[in-house]
Amino acid sequence: QKEVEQDPGPLSVPEGAIVSLNCTYSNSAFQYFMWYRQYSRKGPELLMYTYSSGNKEDGRFTAQVDKSSKYISLFIRDSQPSDSATYLCAMSGAGNAGNMLTFGGGTRLMVKP
Amino acid sequence: GAVVSQHPSWVICKSGTSVKIECRSLDFQATTMFWYRQFPKQSLMLMATSNEGSKATYEQGVEKDKFLINHASLTLSTLTVTSAHPEDSSFYICSGSRGGVLTNEKLFFGSGTQLSVL
């Protein structure tokens, strides 16, 4: 079993839809949770960064972390065709392990106009 | 945000040759650099971690003699794929960390290098 599980998709939605992307994980030591967006043949771009459980909102993006369920989510409101990309969740532990990211496999999102 | 510049963005080489990929942190000092490999439609797999002035730490299954990593300064790290073979064809991505309080660090990624070995 992988440490971080993420549905690979593809997830196809119409423009303007609310998108829900999710990851589950097994390592209870993870403290920091991130969502990256990656366009084809480009490096990942950090979208959201959260610590421990709770919600964080930034514009059209909302990240949720439920440590009790080992489940994290990224919501995209009013999705746009430019949001079409692969979304990677990533997480890390505390202390010296804080820099070591464990990535999910990525979910490919397609937003159709 | 911080910028990590990675070059080249793509390279095609003949089997048996060596290829060097550079990553530079442009506006911060990257005390730690991470090198990842990504196959099509798969996630990033960590290859090695390098701290400035130290030998790199390689993940299990990654040949250190084949993937040479140099992190001689706080702003430059290089990955050299030696005697490249077609199975080394992949997308290679670096990321840099500022250092300091590790628990609050966010990694900054380069734009990646697509290596194709003929």
Q: What is the pLDDT of residues A31-58, one digit of tens each?
A: 889 999 999 889 998 899 888 888 999 9
**Residue B104 in this model has a pLDDT that exceeds 50:** no
| Minimum distance, in Å, between the CA of residue A34 and any CA atom of chain B | 9
How far apart, in whole angstroms, are the C-alpha atoms of residue B83 and residue B66? 7
- The pLDDT of residue B100 is 56
Q: Which residue is listed with tokens 């798969």?
A: B42
**Residue A23 in this model has a pLDDT that exceeds 60:** yes
- The pLDDT of residue B102 is 46
Interface size between A and B, measured as CB pairs under 8 A = 60
Determine contact: B81 vs chain A, CB below 8 A. no
Q: Flag if B41 and A108 touch (Cβ within 8 Å).
A: yes
What is each CA distance from A95 to A58, B16, B73, B103, B104, in whole angstroms?
26, 41, 24, 6, 9
> In which band, very low, low, confident or very high, does the pLDDT at B103 lie, cut at 50, 70 and 90?
very low
Q: Flag if A99 and B32 touch (Cβ within 8 Å).
A: yes
pLDDT digits (tens, 9 = 90+) for A66-77: 999 999 999 999
Determine contact: A44 vs chain B, CB below 8 A. yes
- The pLDDT of residue A95 is 59
Q: Flag if B112 and A42 touch (Cβ within 8 Å).
A: yes
